[in-house]
Amino acid sequence: MLQDKKIALFMTGGIASYKAAELSRQLIKKGAHVRVAMTSGAQAFITPLTMQTLTKYPVLTDTFDETDPTLVQHIDLADWADVALVAPATANILSKMANGIGDEIVSTTLLAVHCPRVIAPSMNENMYYNLATQRNLRQLREDGYTLIEPAEGFLAEGYSGKGRLPDLSVIIEAVEDVVAVTKWKKILEGKNVLISAGGTLERVDPVRYISNDSSGKMGYSLAKAAKRLGANVHLVSTRPQLAVPHGVEVEYVESARDMQEAMEGSLAWSDYAVMAAAVSDYRVSHPSEQKIKSDGSDLTIHLTENPDILASLATKKTHDQTIIGFAAETEHVIKYAKGKLHKKKADWIVANDVSQEATGFNTDTNQVTLLSKEGQLIETGLLSKDDVALRIWKIIAEAEEDDSHGA
């Protein structure tokens, strides 16, 4: 994946700078060319000579130290790079990047960069949670940077907290993902993708409802990833509070039956239909038209089973569509997911263990196993929901490409 890729590594002044030396080595081992720019802060922790020796390229340390009259060094590096990787990224460089400041070699070069950018923040926990830092991170996310979550663990300060540079494998995977998006840019080009997201909501009366903990984030990440990979995306969502990914068309619904109508209404248009929503299995048989008053006695609510939208989509395919479902389980994850794959006649089931904190509802991370009706079983690592989404599309699109080549 990284063979012959050109990676500009930007190092800023954190104790994790020493890990960037090993990071550059591992990137080079994977076939990449790595060129480095370092702030004076980074140079306080590790020398440019170390990085030059490892990368076999001169290291940029000063914007005005122009030794080659045939080029402007920071523009040259910016133009050269296929991927810009900022690792470790301090709170200071995040602030400069979020605000378009270029006042030394790293921030100045980053202003000129026009390739995908990956940032691995690393700092003290309190600096990370500082409101300004969080604001800058939000801004950078909005501006299209790929941000890697810092890891939790023992910090250089001598106590535990969030802020450690994540494992180098996590950083390398993020770079590979970005390269994949570039490389696989067209894997969903021209495809129509229909996705449901969020927990459905069943009215008890005009002010009360039955729902579940599903945040809708995974469905939104799948929509964003599909869009990034070139698809036209229609999202059927129960979560109007979530920001709609750029370029994605959204239709809001509440109940399972509304969702079924919306999904079936767009099924013929779609090439891929994904049920990422957590559909309420039951609805209130007779919702009250007026607010129910408490009168001191127990209340019994009768529930009726909802239609199974995924199963019904699978029987209503109009052409060669791919139907993808999810299986959120708290035990026997693969066994139950296999059961759902067969029972609902889906093409793929994405199984996840919602009993774990990092992979449950309402988190920003996830780890899933994809099961296909052909019997494939493919795991993703623990990644951000956006990266898991990208991986899901890659796995499915690659499998279909293999199928068509094999056919």
Q: What angle do CA 182, 184, 190 make, to 5 degrees?
A: 110
H or E segment and range at residue 235: strand 232-237
Residue type present at position 64:
F
CA of residue 97 relative to chain centroid, distance: 21
278 binds ligand CTP (CB under 6 A): yes
Question: Shortest approach of ligand CTP to residue 350 CB, angstroms?
Answer: 8
Among residues 335, 373, 374, 375, the alpha carbon closest in space to that of 351 is found at 335
Question: Shortest approach of ligand CTP to residue 326 CB, angstroms?
Answer: 4
Q: How far apart are CA 238 and CA 199, in angstroms?
A: 6
* Local structure of 202: helix, strand or coil: strand
Q: Which is nearer to ligand CTP, 128 or 393 (CB)?
A: 393
Catalytic-role residue among 212, 306, 352, 366: 212
Rounding to the nearest 10 degrees, give the CA dihedral for residues 306, 308, 309, 314. Answer: -160
201 binds ligand CTP (CB under 6 A): no
248-255 long-range contacts, CB within 8 A, separation 24+: 248/223, 248/224, 253/200, 254/200, 254/201, 254/203, 254/209, 255/200, 255/201, 255/202, 255/203, 255/280, 255/283
Tell me the two tokens of residue 144: 């299209």
Q: Which is nearer to ligand CTP, 30 or 345 (CB)?
A: 345
Question: Shortest approach of ligand CTP to residue 234 CB, angstroms?
Answer: 16
212: annotated active-site residue: yes
Q: How far apart are CA 354 and CA 331, in angstroms?
A: 9
Q: Evaluate the omega torsion of the peptide bond into residue 88 and state whether it is cis, within 30 degrees of 0.
A: yes
H or E segment and range at residue 383: strand 383-384
Among residues 88, 303, 78, the alpha carbon closest in space to that of 210 is found at 303
231 binds ligand CTP (CB under 6 A): no
128 binds ligand CTP (CB under 6 A): no
Q: Which is nearer to ligand CTP, 340 or 391 (CB)?
A: 340
Q: Binding residue for ligand CTP (CB under 6 A) from 309, 333, 341, 388?
A: 309
- Candidate segments 137-145, 235-243, 244-252, 307-315, binder of ligand CTP by CB under 6 A: 307-315
- Candidate segments 153-161, 170-178, 217-225, 275-283, binder of ligand CTP by CB under 6 A: 275-283
Question: Shortest approach of ligand CTP to residue 325 CB, angstroms?
Answer: 3
Question: Shortest approach of ligand CTP to residue 312 CB, angstroms?
Answer: 8
Q: Binding residue for ligand CTP (CB under 6 A) from 176, 308, 347, 353?
A: 308
275 binds ligand CTP (CB under 6 A): yes
- Candidate segments 71-79, 134-142, 306-314, 370-378, binder of ligand CTP by CB under 6 A: 306-314
Task: State which of positions 337-356 bind ligand CTP (CB under 6 A).
Answer: 340
262 binds ligand CTP (CB under 6 A): no
CA of residue 290 relative to chain centroid, distance: 42
Q: Binding residue for ligand CTP (CB under 6 A) from 152, 281, 364, 401?
A: 281
Q: Which is nearer to ligand CTP, 215 or 306 (CB)?
A: 306
Q: Binding residue for ligand CTP (CB under 6 A) from 327, 341, 383, 399?
A: 327
- Candidate segments 11-19, 55-63, 274-282, 381-389, binder of ligand CTP by CB under 6 A: 274-282
Q: How far apart are CA 106 and CA 110, in angstroms?
A: 6
> Would you say the C-alpha torsion 245, 246, 251, 252 has a positive or negative sign?
positive
Contact present, 403 and 372 (Cβ < 8 Å) = no
Among residues 219, 315, 221, 327, the alpha carbon closest in space to that of 274 is found at 219
Question: Shortest approach of ligand CTP to residue 215 CB, angstroms?
Answer: 14
Q: Binding residue for ligand CTP (CB under 6 A) from 256, 262, 314, 389?
A: 256
Binding site for ligand CTP (CB under 6 A): 256, 275, 277-279, 281, 306, 308-310, 325-328, 340
Catalytic positions, written as ranges: 212
